[in-house]
Amino acid sequence: MKCRSPRKLKSAVLGVIGILLGVSGCATGKWGYINSDNKMAIQPQFEDATPFMEGLAAVKIGEKWGYIDKTGKIILEPQFDAAWLFREGVASVMTGDKWGFIDKTGKFVIQPQFQSASSFSEGLAPVEAGGKWGFIDKTGKFVIQPQFQYAGRFSEGLAELKAGEKWGFIDKTGQIAMKPEYNFVLPFSEGLAAAVLMGNKHGFVDKTGKMVIKPQFDNALSFGDGLAPVKVGLQWGYIDKTGQVVIKPQFEVAFPFHDGLAPVKVDYKWGYIFNTGQFAVWPKYDGAYPFSEGLAMIKIGRAKGYIDKTGRFIRGL
């Protein structure tokens, strides 16, 4: 019998042994992990689970979160009210209603004190204090004082920020790299960021703030594998970094390329295309997620499973 659990499934990359994929057991409602050989690596036993990152995954046992290693051994006992992935050797966790950061021994290297916190990226982490966002280093010291309505993680040396009703970018010294004048921005990817300067048309800016691809699209997402999804009218296609359309708008929805393929929606069904626009996997799924290490999660009705790049069904959930 197919599992009818509506819970969202998670997947994670393991650099040493390939992929470990989080699965929810139909009978138990518990979470475990399978590897890329379709073998159960860690038996379903958790109320919730995150992808592995830097050798550890956060898992929920009862009402608390802890961390396990790739063998399933509990490394940090469940004790946190919320927990995120390890990045750059530390993870943000919540105790009570405050966020702090721990190392892999479970020691608080930055005591819980923030209203909200994201992960470290490029040596800094965005945190919320007193209703404003700023950036701290790994000692917990503010290197960019809380002053923004929101701040994202650094990507390629810049982080998006919101000041008032506008968006811009800041560098790691705290200098405004691109003043808040945009109605919308996405993080930088492959040297460019999608942005809306005036009105509602999307273009792409470089790190100097130059609009290198003029605003002309009804929507746009980040570059991946050299191409970016853009919406023209009601349909999505792909452009290259010169702004040239290389895959004509023809899809109901399109997402960035990852691992050589991109999920697209046609006639209410999802499939995957190559960067030529040809279908690698014909649209037949009710949901499709990006490939990672050769596998992607798909959805048929309320059932979920994994396929390889040929569309071969690997495992049902």
Cα 126 from Cα 123, distance rounded (Å): 10
Q: What is the pLDDT of residues 218-271, one digit of tens each?
A: 999 999 999 999 999 999 999 999 999 999 999 999 999 999 999 999 999 999
Tokens 């295309």 sit on residue: 273
Amino acid at 23: V
pLDDT of residue 126 exceeding 70: yes
Q: How far apart are CA 216 and CA 295, in angstroms?
A: 34
The answer to whether residues 192 and 186 touch, using CB atoms and an 8 Å cutoff, is no
Sketch out the chain's domains with CATH numbers.
214-309 (2.20.25)
Contacts of 160 (CB under 8 A, 6+ apart): 151, 152, 167, 168, 169, 185, 186, 187, 193
Q: What are 56-95's pLDDT values in tens digits?
A: 999 999 999 999 999 999 999 999 999 999 999 999 999 9
The number of beta carbons lying within 10 Å of the beta carbon of residue 157 is 12
Distance (Å, rounded) from C-alpha 136 to C-alpha 144? 7
Q: Tokens 């959805």, residue?
A: 299
Output the pTM of the full model: 0.84
